[in-house]
Amino acid sequence: MKRILAYLSPNTGKLIIGFTIKTAGTVAELMIPFLLTHILEKVIVTMQISRVVFYGILMILCALIASVGNITANRMAARVTADFSIAMRRELFSKTLRLSARDTDRFTVASLESRITTDTYHVQNFIGMMQRMGVRAPILLLGGVGITLFMDRILATVMIAAMPLIFITVFSIARRGVPLYTQVQKSTDDMIRVVREDVQGIRVIKALSKNDYENRRYDVYNRELARKERRAGFVMNAVNPIMTLLMNLGIAGVIAVAAYSVARGTSSAATVIAFTQYFTLISMALMSLSRMFVMYTKCAASARRISEVLEEPDKLPVAADDGKGDCSEHISFENVTFSYLGKKPNLENVTLSLRRGDSLGIIGATGSGKSTFIKLLLRFYDVDSGKIRVCGKMISSYTTEELAAMFGTALQNDFIYADTIEENIRFGRDISDEDIVRAAKIAQAHDFITAIPDGYKHSVSSKGTNLSGGQRQRLLIARAIAARPEILILDDSSSALDYKTDASLRLALKESMSDSTVITVAQRVSSVKDCDLILVLDDGRIIGRGKHEELLESCPEYKQISDSQMGGAFLD
């Protein structure tokens, strides 16, 4: 919680002012029953109307101060809570983007989504309630007890007797609530994961008519979440009934003792009325505290999950370069081996070097390590052994910003967001309109864009659902090209293009980006056949390297792929 509460520090001044106003309003509210008792016992007997009016006005003034104070403090609390939640969500979202790919895999995307939404909501609610009731409830409780002790110690003692039992009950139940709500949030992660998968695959689900199957799969996680919520609710919902029972017993005890005291003349009816009012205020305070304890259990569980992300150390720090690289090599891999799970290598003993302006093609079956090669080059993961260098320096010696500035990437599972075509290509970067048009022309996207009435101002839906697969891929390639990168990576980004468009794209890249090193990952031989160097990967190992003609002679697997796709013939 300390890590989370730090986001309140910029609003310390507002918190102090809000608490001061809330305290004044609550003290004024506490004075109303006391003034009423004074009027009934001391003022009315004087038969002086002016004194009755004076104290009546004083009661009204206290009521107004209480009302205005609480409203003002609550409005300030709402603003502070909003600022707090904005800062917390911003930092959590920023940290989520900075997580290494390995950490993202460990947390899972669904869990990160849940932490940014549901968990921050629980913390926000608790912070808001703490400002509204965290001051008022203790003052009502302690102030009410103090005033009643001053008025009648015997009645106050009877009333106070039930409080230790109430606190013990609330504390015991709250301790059980934190682990229970942690389990609830984990089940929420699982349910979000299923929803996320179904939203992404909705077209496949409809095409295969698997609505009922997905409903049943979702229902399993939905029921599991409901079961854990019921269990947590069963435990936490016991707080209010137990508190109500103990408070009713306290009220019954006060009334019984009060009746005896009035009968003996040791107490007055006015005192009993005041005690009833104070007991009501104290009961409200205790109920508020019980709700705060229930919310605290959710908040504590959520705050722990949020802190896990925020406190995750940087697993990809910037390291010093060893100074052993060759500056004439634009990209080099030196005996690189990597495994996602630390068991079987996903890439093994990969060695190659590329000079600036070279083109590299990578081809192989699904799961052969093609995309892993790209992820390591972009430093989404650090290698287990070996070294990767760019411009002669180890990639671990570059900052994230320095490394990213060198690359233009169109990845296999890239995304399009809801905005114009122009902004999807620009992607928040300082890129001129001329460079956007230039990139679209190279990517073979300019013609279809200008054929749309709005052109580059045309609005694209989320994930580009109002574009065809080929149009989406060309848009993503244009985004990768727009910033004129030193290194262009196309990871299976032309699979939806017809052979003619693919050939035109390759020709345009060769003519317009001769100074850039281009790395093409593809399933089609036609996409890589003109590259200066082609790697054939199988199960993480290089089983063939060379130009297209060399591989047809030296690599049976490459020849088999070539013959199976085009019978050895290609469109130029």
Tally of CB atoms within 10 A around 488: 21
Q: Is the pLDDT of residue 241 over 90?
A: no
- Taking only the tens place, the pLDDT of each residue in 111-131 is 888 888 888 988 998 898 888
Confidence of residue 439 (pLDDT cuts 50, 70, 90): very high
pLDDT of residue 568: 46
Q: Is the pLDDT of residue 352 over 90?
A: yes
- Give the distance from CA 181 to its chain's centroid: 18
CB within 8 Å of 265: residues ≥ 6 apart: none
Which is more confidently placed, 386 or 203?
Answer: 386
Tell me what percent of the residues of the chain surpass a pLDDT of 90.
23
The mean pLDDT of the chain is: 84
CA distance from start to end of the chain: 63
Q: Is the pLDDT of residue 197 over 90?
A: no
Q: Is the pLDDT of residue 547 over 70?
A: yes
pLDDT of residue 389: 93
- Taking only the tens place, the pLDDT of each residue in 314-337 is 667 888 888 887 888 999 999 999
Confidence of residue 423 (pLDDT cuts 50, 70, 90): very high
pLDDT of residue 569: 46
Tally of CB atoms within 10 A around 4: 22
- Taking only the tens place, the pLDDT of each residue in 50-59 is 888 888 888 8
Q: Are 308 and 334 in contact (CB under 8 A)?
A: no
pLDDT of residue 249: 78
Single-letter code of the amino acid located at 68: V
Confidence of residue 570 (pLDDT cuts 50, 70, 90): very low
The residues pairing with 333 across neighbouring beta strands, listed in sequence order, are 352, 388
Q: Is the pLDDT of residue 495 over 60?
A: yes
- Taking only the tens place, the pLDDT of each residue in 278-314 is 777 777 777 777 777 778 888 888 888 899 999 887 6
pLDDT of residue 3: 76
Q: Are 565 and 363 in contact (CB under 8 A)?
A: no
CB within 8 Å of 382: residues ≥ 6 apart: 315, 316, 396
Confidence of residue 436 (pLDDT cuts 50, 70, 90): very high
Q: Are 425 and 375 in contact (CB under 8 A)?
A: no
The full set of domains in the chain, from first to last, is 2-310 (1.20.1560.10), 331-566 (3.40.50.300)
pLDDT of residue 137: 83
- Taking only the tens place, the pLDDT of each residue in 2-41 is 777 788 888 888 889 988 998 898 888 888 887 877 777 7
Tally of CB atoms within 10 A around 476: 24
Q: Is the pLDDT of residue 355 over 90?
A: yes
pLDDT of residue 50: 84
Kindly state the average pLDDT of the residues 88-101: 87
pLDDT of residue 450: 92
Long-range contacts of 213-218 (CB under 8 A, 24+ apart): 218/191, 218/194
Q: Is the pLDDT of residue 213 over 50?
A: yes
Kindly state the average pLDDT of the residues 83-101: 88
CB within 8 Å of 230: residues ≥ 6 apart: none
Kindly state the average pLDDT of the residues 339-355: 89
The residues pairing with 361 across neighbouring beta strands, listed in sequence order, are 520, 534
User: Which of 73-87, 107-121, 156-170, 493-507 shows the lowest per-residue confidence on average (mean pLDDT)?
Assistant: 156-170
pLDDT of residue 446: 92
pLDDT of residue 563: 84
Kindly state the average pLDDT of the residues 199-209: 73
pLDDT of residue 567: 59
Q: Is the pLDDT of residue 47 over 70?
A: yes
- Taking only the tens place, the pLDDT of each residue in 73-90 is 889 989 999 999 899 999
